[in-house]
């Protein structure tokens, strides 16, 4: 293990995969400028600066992926993906299906999002659920440097088009990362960050740490929270979530993205449809508001789910789930 | 014109007649409730003239108006028609229908019905060729229309192809119609080629209904791409003789303009030229027409006999 930042873990994953497979190439706004060592070691043909034109960067990646290359594109900030939607959703996501399986699109799209840098809503927009909703695409959003490395490497080797989101707040956080160039984290496998029997906290990206803080505070109050880091939003590890909910009977889903039709809604529906009899209290969602992200640090923090909200919700759930009042949830 | 040329033109006429007969059959089916299509009636010379100068190693991207490109490339009308009817023997197993048919085996890849989608993907296909994927020396040809040229990604695509020196042939079939809007309502100039020149591309603008003009220009452009590795731009001035999407009564089309272009039907022009030059006689052309009608009848029979995809295969092919 070696200690490094998320940014370094991403860079290492790119370097190792470019070393391993000559078909891997990197394209985007400033990738050659910012990753000069990759240009030096792998050549300018494989590390390409592009015009500020997301639609053609993504479209070119789609065409290249179907023609034998394995592109990774860096579109910088998640809201810029709006310009790339046709290539990602209509082409990468649909043309395997519409062609009856004639083409595959092994491509990875990198984008940053999340509050932290006070950049406002046109650089910070957690729109991961939009891509979860689009068929044919995979969506990853890790929380720890080791997973940034391991999941990115797996995504680059995978045959499906993948959106890989980096929460800006995590970019310079450090963690222990396996040194081996075969550190691969499987897609669709959640990580249980903390084991507990009283309630389940499900989250991903930076709000995993918030759930961990909340769990620590709850522990001091005699409540044992289990914390699940989804890491992969699509494919989704339903089994790990359901197993935990069936054990604890209480579920809180926490994420920074707005709640309406979001990942938390899907997790809540999963629990309601497949673990209903285990639920001892209603599912709670703690999410960002249905509002663009403000630039002001104070408003960024106000939008972000905080540990005290999670703690308060957890205490209410535990009180409710042990007082017998949950019977009203099972009206026949 | 040499004997080889006359043989070539006769073969091209037969291909154009096959495309026409195939699409007229589709129109007929659509009158009886089959899924609609965007036909390439009137634009056959563009497809045949360009595709005839490409080689099997080359790659083609097309769009919603794709039947002419596919048949010119040698697609089987039966499998095409099966695809349009949503049957299992179609090129895409019935997933595509008429709008996004691709056939990897023919090198017709990544068809997009999103206007401009083909332009967004084409540089990537050419980049892969440039970086050693596929056969050496291969190029990519992307077919699109004046409608796609009004999309922003048109300019992004041309700019990138020039800057990265991609082996890419842009083929703009300027058919004067952008769905239900005439080109004159959407563009200050009638030419697309002037935009392409602005991006630093070599351009040729020729009569898209004159197959000899199309082929000569295409041959020159393809030779330049193979020699230099740089992209070329071809604007073929043509006209969409039928509506945007069948069925379409074309009530919005100026009758005089339509009549003018009907008189310049590319099949009519080639037939008259062959007859006038004494390179074919009326009986030979009638025999051709009989052959293509028989092929289309066989295609229809094949397509209608083909099974529907099984419901349990609904979600196959979504993920690798």
Task: Decide if B127 and A69 are in contact by the 8 Å CB cutoff.
Answer: yes
pLDDT digits (tens, 9 = 90+) for B124-155: 999 999 999 999 999 999 999 999 999 999 99
Task: Decide if B156 and A51 are in contact by the 8 Å CB cutoff.
Answer: yes
Binned at pLDDT 50, 70 and 90, residue B1 comes out as low
Per-residue pLDDT, averaged over A144-162, amounts to: 98
Instruction: Give B-chain residues touching A159 at CB under 8 angstroms.
Output: 320
How much of chain A exceeds pLDDT 90, in percent?
96
Task: Decide if A56 and B160 are in contact by the 8 Å CB cutoff.
Answer: yes
Task: Decide if A98 and B93 are in contact by the 8 Å CB cutoff.
Answer: no
Handedness of CA A268, A151, A178, A9 (dihedral sign): negative
B96, B129, B156 ranked by CB distance to A55: nearest: B156
CB of B209 within 8 Å of any CB in chain A? Answer: no
pLDDT at B32: 86
pLDDT at A321: 67
CB of A263 within 8 Å of any CB in chain B? Answer: no
β-partners of residue A72 are: A26, A108
Contact B92, B101 (CB under 8 A): yes
Task: Decide if A60 and B123 are in contact by the 8 Å CB cutoff.
Answer: yes
Instruction: Give A-chain residues touching B117 at CB under 8 angstroms.
Output: 59, 86-87, 90-91
pLDDT digits (tens, 9 = 90+) for B48-60: 999 999 999 999 9
Q: What is the 3-state secondary structure (H, E, C) of chain B?
A: CCHHHHHHHHHHHHHHHHHHHHHHHHHHHHHCCCCCCCCCCCCHHHHHHHHCCCCCCCEEECCCCCHHHHHHCCCCHHHHHHHHCCCCCCCCCCCCCCCCCCEHHHCECCCCCCCCHHHHHHHHHHHHHHCCCCCCCCCEEEEEEHHHHCCHHHHHHHHHHHHCCCCEEEEEEECCEECCEEHHHCCCCCCCHHHHHHCCCEEEEEECCCHHHHHHHHHHHHHHHHHHCCCEEEEEECCCCCCCCCCCCCCCCCHHHHHHHHCCCHHHHHHHHHHHCCCCCHHHHHHHHHHHHHHHHHHHHHHHHCCCCCHHHCCCCCCC
Catalytic residues of A: 54, 123
ipTM of this predicted structure: 0.95
- Any residues with CB less than 8 A from the CB of B25 and at least 6 apart, and which? B81, B296, B299, B300
pLDDT digits (tens, 9 = 90+) for B238-281: 999 999 998 888 999 999 999 999 999 999 999 999 999 999 99
Return residues 128-157 of B near A (CB < 8 Å): 128-129, 131, 133-134, 152-153, 156-157
pTM of the predicted protein model:
0.95
**Residue given tokens 């090198």 in the structure block:** B107
CB of A75 within 8 Å of any CB in chain B? Answer: no
Q: Is A207 left (phi over 0), alpha (psi -120 to 50) or beta?
A: alpha
Residue of B nearest to A95 (CA): B110
CA distance A89 to A130: 10
Task: Decide if B102 and A95 are in contact by the 8 Å CB cutoff.
Answer: yes
């Amino acid at each position: 293990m070696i200690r490094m930042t998320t940014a370094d873990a991403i860079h290492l994953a790119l370097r190792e995969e470019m070393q391993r497979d000559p078909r891997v190439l990197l394209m985007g706004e400033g990738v050659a400028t910012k990753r000069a060592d990759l240009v030096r070691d792998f050549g300018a043909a494989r590390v390409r600066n592009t015009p500020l034109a997301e639609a053609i960067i993504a479209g070119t990646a789609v065409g290249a992926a179907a023609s034998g290359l394995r592109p990774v594109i860096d579109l910088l900030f998640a809201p810029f993906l709006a310009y790339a939607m046709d290539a990602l959703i209509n082409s990468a996501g649909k043309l395997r299906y519409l062609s009856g399986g004639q083409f595959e699109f092994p491509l990875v799209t990198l984008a940053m999002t999340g509050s932290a840098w006070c950049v406002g809503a046109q650089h910070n927009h957690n729109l991961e659920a939009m891509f979860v909703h689009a068929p044919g695409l995979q969506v990853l959003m890790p929380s720890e440097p080791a997973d940034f490395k391991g999941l990115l490497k797996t995504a680059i080797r995978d045959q499906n088009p993948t959106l890989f989101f980096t929460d800006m707040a995590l970019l310079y956080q450090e963690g222990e990362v396996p040194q081996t160039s075969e550190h691969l984290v499987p897609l669709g496998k959640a990580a249980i960050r903390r084991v507990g029997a009283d309630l389940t906290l499900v989250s991903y990206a930076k709000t995993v740490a918030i759930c961990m803080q909340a769990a620590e505070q709850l522990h001091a109050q005699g409540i044992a929270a289990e914390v699940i880091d989804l890491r992969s939003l699509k494919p989704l590890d339903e089994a790990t979530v359901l197993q935990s909910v069936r054990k604890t009977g209480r579920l809180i889903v926490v994420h920074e993205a707005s709640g309406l039709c979001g990942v938390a809604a899907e997790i809540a529906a999963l629990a309601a449809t497949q673990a209903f009899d285990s639920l001892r209290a209603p599912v709670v969602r703690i999410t960002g508001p249905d509002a663009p992200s403000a630039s002001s640090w104070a408003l960024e923090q106000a939008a972000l789910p905080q540990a005290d909200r999670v703690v308060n919700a957890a205490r209410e759930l535990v009180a409710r789930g042990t007082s017998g009042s949950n019977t009203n949830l099972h009206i026949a | 014109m040499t004997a080889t040329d006359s043989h070539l033109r006769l073969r091209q006429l037969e291909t154009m007649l096959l495309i026409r007969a195939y699409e007229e059959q589709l129109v007929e089916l659509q009158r009886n409730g089959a899924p609609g299509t965007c036909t390439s009636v009137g634009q056959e010379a563009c497809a045949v003239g360009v595709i005839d100068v490409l080689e099997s190693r080359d790659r083609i991207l097309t769009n919603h108006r794709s039947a002419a490109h596919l048949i010119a490339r040698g697609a089987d009308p039966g499998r095409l028609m099966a695809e349009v009817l949503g049957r299992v023997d179609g090129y895409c197993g019935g997933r595509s229908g008429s709008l996004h048919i691709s056939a990897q085996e023919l090198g017709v890849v990544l068809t997009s019905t999103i206007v401009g989608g083909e332009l967004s993907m084409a540089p990537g296909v050419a980049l892969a060729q440039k970086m050693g994927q596929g056969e050496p020396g291969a190029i990519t040809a992307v077919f699109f229309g004046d409608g796609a040229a009004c999309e922003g990604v048109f300019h992004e695509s041309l700019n990138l192809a020039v800057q990265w020196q991609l082996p890419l042939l842009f083929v703009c079939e300027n058919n004067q119609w952008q769905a239900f809007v005439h080109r004159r309502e959407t563009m200050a100039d009638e030419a697309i080629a002037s935009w392409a020149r602005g991006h630093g591309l070599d351009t040729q603008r020729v009569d898209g209904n004159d197959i000899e003009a199309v082929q000569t220009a295409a041959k020159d452009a393809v030779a330049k791409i193979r020699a230099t590795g740089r992209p070329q731009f071809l604007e073929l001035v043509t006209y969409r003789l039928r509506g945007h999407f069948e069925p379409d009564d074309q009530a919005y089309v100026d009758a005089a303009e339509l009549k003018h272009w009907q008189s310049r039907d590319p099949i009519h022009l080639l037939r008259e030229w062959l007859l006038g030059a004494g390179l074919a006689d009326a009986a030979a052309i009638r025999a051709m027409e009989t052959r293509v009608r028989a092929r289309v009848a066989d295609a229809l029979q094949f397509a209608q006999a083909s099974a529907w995809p099984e419901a349990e295969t609904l979600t196959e092919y979504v993920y690798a």
